[in-house]
Amino acid sequence: MNKQLKVLFIGTYVPKECGIATFTSDLLNSVSGENDDVHCEVIALNDPSETYNYPEEVVFQIEREKIEDYYRAADYINQSTVDIVCLQHEFGLFGGSAGDYIFALLSGINKPVITTMHTVIREPEPTYRASTENLIKYSEKLIVMSQTAVNMLKDVYNAPEDKIEVIFHGLPDYPFNDRGKYKKKLNLKGSPLVLTFGLLSQNKGIESMLEALPDVINQYPGLVYLILGATHPMVKKTQGEVYRQYLNNKVSELGLENNVVFHDKFVEKEELCNYVLASDIYASPYLSREQIVSGALTYAIGMGKAIISTPYWYAQEMLSENRGLLVDFGDTEGFKKSLLYLIENPEKCDYMRKKAYDFGRKMTWKNVGRGYNSVFSKARKKYTAHPTIQNRFSFLPNQLPEVKLDHLELLTDDVGIIQHTNLGVPARHHGYSTDDVGRALVALTQLIDSEAKAEELWKLIITYMSFLEHAQTDTGHFHNFMSYKREFLDETGSEDTLGRAVYGLGHVISCSYLSKNIRTLANNLVSKSGPEIENLSYPRAKAYAMCGLYEILRADVDAVEFGYIFNSRRGAVKSVDSYIEKDAFESIFVNHADSLVDLYETNHKEDWNWFEPTVTYSNAKLSESLLLAYNYTKDRTYRKIGLDTLDFLTEIQWRGDFFDLVGNHGWYSYDGQKPIFDQQPIEAGYLTQAYVLAYEIVRERKYLELAKYSFEHFLGRNRLRTVMYDYSTGAVCDGLNSDGMNCNQGAEPVICYLMALSSLNKHTNKPFGMAFQPKVCDGVAKEKEPAIYKSGKMR
């Protein structure tokens, strides 16, 4: 090889007590031991609550039933220097229906996948057929361990023949042995010594062998039947030791206590080999024909045992040409006759053993490792990324959607905006919120570019203004939640509620196409809120309020412009002392900007350019508010921190061709892992607005392109490649979850979508393209070294 080949194995792994874990470890050692230019690593699969002290080659862990881990593993693989992914596939290893969680990983990686199939089903149920077909689709090569498996893949699943390779199950290479030596080493008795080994489950069919023994033991009382192996962990978890107890009862019932020995333990490979080498006869009485591979039978063949087996698929093929004896499933008489035949015909028995041993030389791990390395090398040379990986967002439209208000209008009645829906149908029992109404005013006023448009949207704006006027408390704060019975459900809303109300009111005040009366009312409401705005303490509340105050300051609004401040009780002009003038608004605006700067200075680190130790919600609004502060004051400190924090949001969320937003399922702490799901549309909308503003300030093309890509989150440029926007109704789904899209279509997502669309529409004449390369998110703003992945946790 011209350069080192780096192979990443995915499967269970030692010290987990599992056949595939042992196989994966042996395969890794054979691949790396065969060639010094091969470097191997492992992604290990765990059951919930399992923890293992894995060896250093394990670089990442997946909790089997946690789909987020599969996505994170895909991210890790894409960021790594891995050349080949070698997947050990057994349906039960992976979570989901028929193990379909694994496709969250396979569908998202840009490396060639070589899949070892430990199970192939001849008559699959629909879910298992779909999983197998997807496995074929995502794999460059399928490695099976028998010709029977090849035929099934071609005949049942239409797998291309050139995609399939046969490489035998591996085994250690031992000389044709002296059984007495190993019996003595293990202090075992038995003449003959009959062995069945493997994790115990009902499918082993051991009762068939037990029922065959009494007549044999009558003739050969020195026979010992050793049943070696712990109960399968999954069986033990669900059924306990029911099967083992059944076998013990059967032994007592048949009077076999002196001839049957149970070793209830999981034995390591070297000890297992000693047991196999010590045995005279290996019995494999499985009850199921649908067994496409057996590691236990492979060991018995390669170590030259005389073998009696039921005719499951793998045994039929491996024991052909007189390499063993086949007995029908559950055929007690057949087992008895076969045992007697082998005991009473030692020359024929030895001939059978030698045939099996010679055939087993093809199966030694050295030959298996050589075969895998050949497949790996060819796959690396020929691999081209799957079309869905190369251009997975080709379905996106070339133009921005037209503004469509149908869904917002559907949610709006004569009171306000109903907060939530049930699958798109307004859910009245959720009532209304000031949070939605305030931001809806932003969305609508951004659409107004003429008196005609103002007239078109007049009824909605009047409804929302009426709601805010009613929601304002005596202190100037606002209630947030109102029931469908028109009863407020809180004494006062959160600070964010106040900020969002001011955000909307500021946009109303600055919209010159609206009537003087409605703008004056908005100014009255903001003026009354002055002391409350000044006393805000939460950063996002300040950011929202700053966005509203900026609109007031930008428009240079004061009482002179309106001529009067309307008094709803008397219809008279209020005293100038009853409202806050522009200078007071400016002071509050700057003070809040300075407090965000102080927050940033307190919490940011070299690799964490953020205001807080945790990235939570409405994140880009913080950056946007400081950029607005720069626009108004020209203080470059605001500009620098606004851009640095916005760039940080890019760094931790941009993945080269889509935004992987910080999910609300846990949020993202400096010393924690970034949550993948419960991604909210609000984050995409706010990113779009902030990027557009950054572009308008610094005129760097990358910000305009990032604005487009963040907006396209709504249209399908997201982790799940799911279109969240309904082109027919204008509705937007509530978020992305691990099980897909949240199909409820509430007020917040459509409002944030409209705000983002309006911001981007100002620059629709600018060409877009993937010409720039911002720093790609590594899932991890702060990756230090690969060891951080050992716990399955990406910092």
- pLDDT of residue 578 exceeding 90: no
Are the C-beta atoms of 342 and 306 separated by less than 8 Å?
A: yes
Q: 356-414, pLDDT tens digit by residue?
A: 999 999 999 999 999 999 999 999 998 876 655 556 788 888 889 999 999 999 999 99
Q: How many CB atoms lie within 10 A of CB 445?
A: 22
Q: What is the pLDDT of residue 740?
A: 84
Q: Which residues contact 487 (CB under 8 A, 6 or more apart)?
A: none
pLDDT in tens, 277-330: 999 999 999 999 989 999 999 999 999 999 999 999 999 999 999 999 999 999
Q: Using H for helix, E for strand and C for coil, what is the string for 90-107?
A: CHHHCCCHHHCCHHHHHC
Mean pLDDT score, 631-659? 96
Q: Residue 268's pLDDT is what? A: 85
> Residue 247 in contact with residue 227, Cβ under 8 Å?
yes
Predicted model pTM? 0.75
Query: Confidence class of residue 557 from pLDDT cuts 50, 70 and 90?
Result: low
Residue 413 makes CB contacts below 8 A (sequence gap 6+) with: none
Helix or strand (DSSP H, E) at 131? helix 126-138
pLDDT mean across residues, the chain: 90
Residue 783 is predicted with a pLDDT of 34
Of the ranges 29-33, 199-203, 495-499, which is most confident? Answer: 495-499
Residues 710, 234: Cα–Cα separation, whole Å = 44
Q: What was the pLDDT predicted at 343?
A: 96
> What is the pairing mode between strands 668-669 and 421-422?
unpaired
How far, in Å, are 333, 779, 789 from residue 77 at the CA level?
A: 54, 12, 11
